[in-house]
Chain A
Amino acid sequence: MTTAILDPKLAPPFREAVLPVLRNPMLRKNVAHATEVIQNKRARLVAEKRDWQQLREAASAIRAHVLENLGAYLEQFEARCTAAGGVVHWASTADEARQIILDLLREEHATEAIKIKTMTSAEIELNPYLEAAGVRVHETDLAEIILQLGKEEPSHIVVPALHINRSQVREIFSRTMGLKDLSDDPKELTGAARHYLREKFLNIPTAISGANFLIAETGSVAVVESEGNGRMCLTLPQAMISVVGIEKVLPRFQDLEVMLQVLARSATGERMNPYTSLWTGVTPGDGPQRFHVVLLDNERSSILARPKERQTLKCIRCAACMNHCPVYRQTGGHAYGSCYPGPIGAILTPQLMRMHYAESLPFASSLCGACYEVCPVKIDIPAVLLDLRADVVNIERKQAKRAFDLMYIGLRVANTLFARAWIFHATQRIGRIGLRLFTGKDGWIKRLPSIGGRWTENRDLRGLPNQTFHEWWEARAKENQ
């Protein structure tokens, strides 16, 4: 159905990656429908919460406090988790994390593993690595099964298959599960997934998960989910490996009283998600008897070192920013060329890549600020976007070829034009006449030549009005004399 590339090292720039999406009406309809439904559900539940802004303030303060004191809280988590029977591993890079996980699976003699949906594993591209090493990985979240069986890529961090509709799911399930008479009723499709996974849950003794929160005070791990596939994976197997970003720590158990109130409302528009599980190391007789946590840095410590960008790590992965983003709502997730799409992806991905890749993403935003307004931990995404744009320009400015780049020449010309009012006004008058050639009857410009085409290849432009505000103001002053 799509050929999305979600590896930032290989993905094309955003403005090229959006083109196939913008020409795919079914995908756009699926994305628009899903984001609309979540937006409305969230709005209703946030409105009923009288202390919503106070909860956001507390959530933001807790997350900022954790990041400023991350070293102390990580060591505390490690000590408590270890005392409770867990084993803590540290991975500086994605490669190290993959190697550690594979070694642990080999110790378990595992040829298969069941998996709870985890963004961190997508970030380190764990599944293809394990498959290549001979370990079959079974995703268990409904959306992840749809993607895995359909050989599709995720386009959202909470509902990753939102770009796929029921008849497409029917096609995937009926083809891969051999169910000829399957209808496209979501209830029947869900039933097919339940049946397909049941035997895997009961027989595969090794599981891989991520985590929503780590609790430093107790060494506990918390996973937030809806379907019960998470509970299956963290209850039935004999061994569990959780791969978690170092930023996911909370100081105390009690901090969940804030996080659980904001997370489900922001993510799925529910007062509380159906299941939240918390476990502490190993409990004799209940659940996996061998438990490993792999703490992943993978450039998070570099983000931490920059005071303005540090807030990127406050993120609790609720996806409210993408559901409300006017750009994401048009493009869906694949155009972002990363497992983290939307506004949070636009700031997180380039930083995880040390600005060497994905440098078009900070520009994939209108800076309208909707993401900041809905963010439950108050990440000022527009401010970070602007800062990263400055970084990109500063890097490009040093490159010699930029002296001949049409856009940079254009900007230098604009610099001269905008510096003097009379030149600026003259340019406006000439521009108005020139642009009339390209303006349609509806007042919109669909296509421009040369560098102007970079704008219009993936969005329309309003034609210039017949009168500028200045001209109107002067004319009005004359009339009133």
Chain B
Amino acid sequence: MNTPVLSRQRILNRVRSATATVAKHGGQLAEAYAALPRPYIRKGQMSAEGRLELLIERLREYDAEVVESTMDALPVTIEAQLAASGKHRFVVPSGLDPEWLVGGFDWKIDYNLTTAEIELAEGVVTAASCAIADSGTIVLHHSPGEGRRVITLLPDWHLCILRASQVVETLPEYFDRFRAVPALITWVSGPSATADIEMTRIKGVHGPRFLHVILVRD
């Protein structure tokens, strides 16, 4: 009879004996890891302006809408985006800057809203932690300004507010920037999509079908 404890021991024993001649231990393991070849590009070569242009180009390739703004004009830009969406009920994370909750819309702040309440929202407005220009990726660490994962998942329309200083060029630059690993991360590259039927790319399956980004020059 295989009890769970025996299985654990059996697997680890088999793995250990299979790798007995090559496995390293303790400090030697750390050294072997540190010695792994990493000859790929870490840092990008682009100017700050070129980096932002690349991000915008990549996001638009994914059919995301991108507009630029300054810090001062941000509430006005948010208002224009929301008005153009034709939607009224928006959910926001509890830690979002209150200045961004412009008048004239129905705001639901996520103090542990139920799934049913979130499902009623037509859109969601959040901040982000980082963006990677090379792949057009927005990274959510689900901090108080980015909210729980569910609020950027159920609503069909996502407005993401990104600061220019949060944009890096390459994926390794992102990993250099965040040495402390957040417990939850979502890397978003465009609206949800599928190519499962005859490799035809269809935008919008289960996640938000519309991704809007405001890039704030800070």
B-binding residues in A (CB < 8 A): 30, 33-34, 37-38, 50-51, 54-55, 57-58, 61-62, 65, 67-72, 74-75, 84, 89-92, 96, 100, 140-143, 146, 159, 161-162, 165-166, 169, 186-187, 189-190, 193-194, 197-198, 201-202, 215, 217-218, 220, 226-229, 231-232, 235-236, 246, 251-254, 256-258, 260-261, 268, 270-281, 283, 285-287, 295, 297, 301-302, 304-305
Contacting A at CB under 8 A, from B25-65, are 25, 29, 32-33, 36-41, 58, 62
Whether the pair B205, A65 counts as a contact (CB closer than 8 A) is: no
C-alpha gap A50/B169 in the complex (Å): 14
Q: Using a CB-CB cutoff of 8 Å, which residues 89-132 of chain B contact chain A?
A: 112, 115-116, 119, 132
* Interface of chain A, main secondary structure: helix
Residue from B37, B62, B171 in contact with A58 in the complex, judged by beta carbons closer than 8 Å? B37
Do the beta carbons of A218 and B205 come within 8 Å of each other? Answer: no
Chain B residues near A281 (CB-CB < 8 A): 183
Please pick, from B22, B171, B199, B202, the residue contacting A38 in the complex, using a CB distance under 8 A.
B199
Instruction: Out of A89, A251, A271, name the residue touching B4 (CB < 8 Å).
Output: A89
Q: Are A90 and B4 in contact (CB under 8 A)?
A: yes
B137 within 8 A of A: yes
Say whether B197 contacts A271, CB under 8 Å: no
Contact of B175 among A162, A165, A218, A254 (CB under 8 A): A254
Q: Flag if B115 contacts A304 (CB, 8 Å).
A: no
Contact B8 A276 (CB under 8 A): no
Please report the C-alpha to C-alpha distance between residue A281 and residue B197 in the assembled complex, in whole angstroms. Answer: 34
Whether the pair B196, A161 counts as a contact (CB closer than 8 A) is yes
User: Chain B residues near A270 (CB, 8 Å)?
Assistant: 189
With known contacts A236-B150, A285-B112, A197–B18 Cβ distance under 8 A: no
- Determine how close the nearest CB of chain B comes to the CB of A132; give it in whole angstroms: 21
Taking a contact as CB atoms closer than 8 A, the residue among A65, A72, A90 that contacts B7 in the complex is A90
Can you list 8 contacts pairing A with B, beta carbon distance less than 8 Å? A162-B199, A186-B198, A202-B115, A226-B194, A228-B192, A256-B175, A279-B184, A304-B19
Q: Hey, which chain A residues are within 8 Å of B116, CB to CB? A: 202
In angstroms, how far is the closest chain A Cβ from the Cβ of B142? 7
Which stretch in B9-17, B70-78, B159-167 binds the other chain? B9-17
Which residue of B14, B24, B186, B197 contacts A69 across the interface (Cβ within 8 Å)?
Answer: B24
Q: Taking each of A258, A275, A302, which has the highest tally of chain B beta carbons within 10 Å of its own beta carbon?
A: A275
Residues from chain B with Cβ under 8 Å of A254 in the complex: 175
Task: Identify the closest chain B residue to A160 (Cβ).
Answer: B196
Q: Which 3 A/B pairs are nearest by Cβ-Cβ distance?
A: A228-B207, A228-B206, A305-B18
Within 8 A of A (CB), among B138-155: 142, 148-150, 153
